[in-house]
Chains A and B, each alone.
Chain A
Amino acid sequence: MDDHRGVLVVGELGQSRLATVTRELLGAGRRLADELGEPLGLLLIGDAVSGCDTEASALGVDTLYVAEGPHLAAYNGDVYMEIAGTVAGETAAAVILMGHTTAGREMGPRLAARLGGSLFTDCVDLALDAARWLVATRPVYGGNAMAGFVSKTLPQIATVRPKAMPETAACTGKNMSTVAVSTDSTLSRIELSEVVVEEAAGPRIEDAGVVVAVGAGVRQEDFGLVCDLAQVLGGAVGGTRLPYEEGWIPASSQIGQTGKMITPDLYVAVGISGAPQHMAGCTGAKRIVAINNDPEAHIFKMADYGIVADYKEALPVLIEKIREMTGA
């Protein structure tokens, strides 16, 4: 191939550490870098990012690129793009990885347009073929099919679906070097005026072991029943797009392509038809249980266990039985 070399991860920050998706990307990035026999770089953009160096080093990063400044605290499409474009261009990375997140969804295509590379979005698997081209697997047709693409151009850019790849455990740590990136060019045509957080009380659906989710088949006045079930199971409440649009669950509780990708041990879908857009968010669940009164509902094909019943009849009994069993 030409003079492109190495893997560059464009990282994101969580609460005073690397975001979970970035840790997942570093796992995939390290694996690809090792196969290529080339270095792994990590670009972090933010207000105060140097605190993440120990973590980055432990996850096998060879070079950390730091773009730091108070004006970088919030993601700005134009400003972040300028920095990522410069670093990607200067390092001439062969593979550039980012999360399929708000930032990644914008920066991936824009970087590919600027750098002339190939682009694969919302990937769930990444590998190299015999000629060391990137092979990206991604769900298409709302998850009804999977497509495997082989890149024909460098650099090869992929946005990776959160929770699709395992977080790697920390290794002994590399001799990581740190490079400060100039952040002078901060010309932005996009101005941020407000961030509105809509968060549910109680456990977060992305962390909970049990998630009970509500769909269009449940009437709003019965929402309490679903919450009761979540409560006896010690779980969190989530839902599909409709309950979110109608305002009875907050944005942070929406599960699916637009909302969260979750991987609980037990996922209970109440009154959910199983539309691909929603199922994209919960296919990583260990066990899926469906309660729906339509025996033909697609959800039953996607579930481990199902009962065909009116939720208004089924839930009170289920809640009672679980209470008896667990003493909750």
Chain B
Amino acid sequence: MNIIVCIKQILDPEIPPAKFKVDTVAKKVVCPEGIPLVVSPYDEQAVEAALRIKESRSDAKLTALTLGGAGAKDAIKHVLSMGVDEGIIVNDDAFEGSDAFGTAYILSKAIEKLGDYGLVLCGRQAADWDAGQVGPVLAEYLGIPVVTVAKEVAAVDGKVTVKQVLADGYRVLHMAMPALVTVSSEIGQARLPSGKGIVMAARKQVTVWSSQDLGCDPGRIGSGAARAELAELFVPSQDRKSEIITGKDVAEAAGNLAGVLRREGAI
């Protein structure tokens, strides 16, 4: 059974907030120098979910798929070194500026070209734009059922069983394959690449497909097809007091804090 995991390379969401800068004129986040891009953590967790399925059934073959330019190969190599079997990059100047719908369309064309698959896994959202759109839109374009925000995914025979995170617990859902699942952080930490994995990954060829290879409709890709426009991007103002309460020792500081809160009527 083929499992396809869609991944995206993004600015490291764990960078210190002080290093996070926005160019409000260009409406872009400024990548701090010397900080390498990473695979979006939710996507790494989707890879982790796929690897766990592979451990449970010997016929599982994992293919990572990413849309991207120069850095895409690093993202693919990273997940190959985690244990993914194959990597595919879809890249074309014509893809530049595609929104979630354009991206999902391109990915759907690549998945259709791959053909035989049982399960498509995505992160619940990319940890840069946090939209969570590509996964469910991709499922619609592929005409397959979808469950989002999973904390556990099992694939037994032709069926996938998902534990979907709810605000007050979780629920268990079943779908016949092929199906798409988006994976949440509740699945737990993704494994690190192994030394052997890194060596294996270095030897693997990564397939690259262009828009023409996929037969994409030019009217559905790129910035021209975008359904909305980014009008502004800014760092929200922080109106908190950010006051550190001190004292000669911890006990006094704690006492002073209680005093401040009491005076303000908060306690």
Contact = CB atoms under 8 A, between A and B. Distances in A.
Interface of A: 77-78, 101-102, 105-106, 108-110, 112-114, 117-122, 135-136, 138-153, 189-199, 210, 233, 241, 244-245, 250-252, 257-260, 265-266, 276-277, 287-289, 295, 298, 300-310, 313-315, 317-318, 321-322, 325-326
Contacts of A149: 228-231
A258 B169 contact: no
B25 interface: no
B202 interface: no
Contact of B165 (A140, A143, A258, A309): A258
A192 B172 contact: yes
A212 to B, nearest CB: 12
B177 to A, nearest CB: 10
Contact of B132 (A105, A144, A287, A318): A105
27 contacts: A102-B164, A110-B137, A119-B101, A119-B228, A120-B228, A122-B130, A140-B128, A143-B236, A144-B17, A146-B235, A147-B232, A148-B232, A189-B176, A190-B173, A192-B173, A193-B173, A199-B168, A241-B185, A251-B169, A265-B266, A302-B240, A305-B244, A307-B244, A309-B250, A314-B250, A317-B251, A322-B258
A111 to B, nearest CB: 9
Given A110-B139, A190-B175, A193-B172, 20 more contacts: A102-B164, A109-B137, A121-B132, A141-B13, A145-B233, A147-B232, A148-B231, A153-B227, A189-B175, A195-B172, A196-B169, A197-B169, A252-B167, A252-B169, A266-B261, A276-B17, A302-B242, A304-B240, A304-B241, A321-B258
Interface residues of B, number: 80
A276 B13 contact: yes
B169 A198 contact: yes
Nearest to A260: B167
B192 interface: no
Interface stretch (B1-9, B58-66, B74-82, B145-153): B145-153
Contacts of B236: 139, 143, 145-146
Contacts of A117: 227
B34 interface: no
Contact of B242 (A260, A276, A303): A303
| B179, B226, B257: most-surrounded residue (chain A CB, <10 A) | B257
A105 B149 contact: yes
Contact of B262 (A148, A150, A288, A325): A325
Contacts of B148: 102, 105-106
Contacts of B140: 109-110, 113-114
A124 B195 CA distance: 44
Nearest to B159: A191
Given A77-B146, A142-B13, A144-B20, A307 B260 contact: no
A305 B260 contact: yes
| A265, A301, A317: most-surrounded residue (chain B CB, <10 A) | A317
- What 7 pairs between A and B have smallest CB-CB spacing? A113-B140, A109-B136, A321-B258, A317-B254, A189-B145, A118-B227, A198-B169
B98 interface: no
A194 B172 contact: yes
B212 interface: no
B44 to A, nearest CB: 15
A315 B258 CA distance: 11
Contacts of A318: 254-255, 257-258
A307 B144 CA distance: 52
A153 B227 CA distance: 6
Given A112-B101, A301-B238, A194 B227 contact: no
Contacts of A109: 100, 132-133, 135-137, 140
Given A109-B140, A289-B261, A121 B242 contact: no
Nearest to A210: B267
A32 to B, nearest CB: 16
B167 A106 contact: no
| B145, B167, B170, B246: most-surrounded residue (chain A CB, <10 A) | B167
Contact of A317 (B169, B184, B250): B250
A300 to B, nearest CB: 6
Contacts of A120: 228
Contacts of B251: 313, 317
A118 B227 CA distance: 5
Contact of A110 (B146, B149, B184, B226): B146
Contacts of A257: 130
Interface in B106-146: 127-133, 135-137, 139-141, 144-146
Nearest to B144: A189
Contacts of B132: 105, 109, 121-122
A287 B255 contact: no
A121 B104 CA distance: 16
A152 B101 CA distance: 13
B171 A196 contact: yes
Interface in B22-39: 22, 29
B104 A306 contact: no
B219 interface: no
Contacts of B136: 105-106, 108-110, 113
B55 interface: no
Contacts of A142: 13, 127, 130
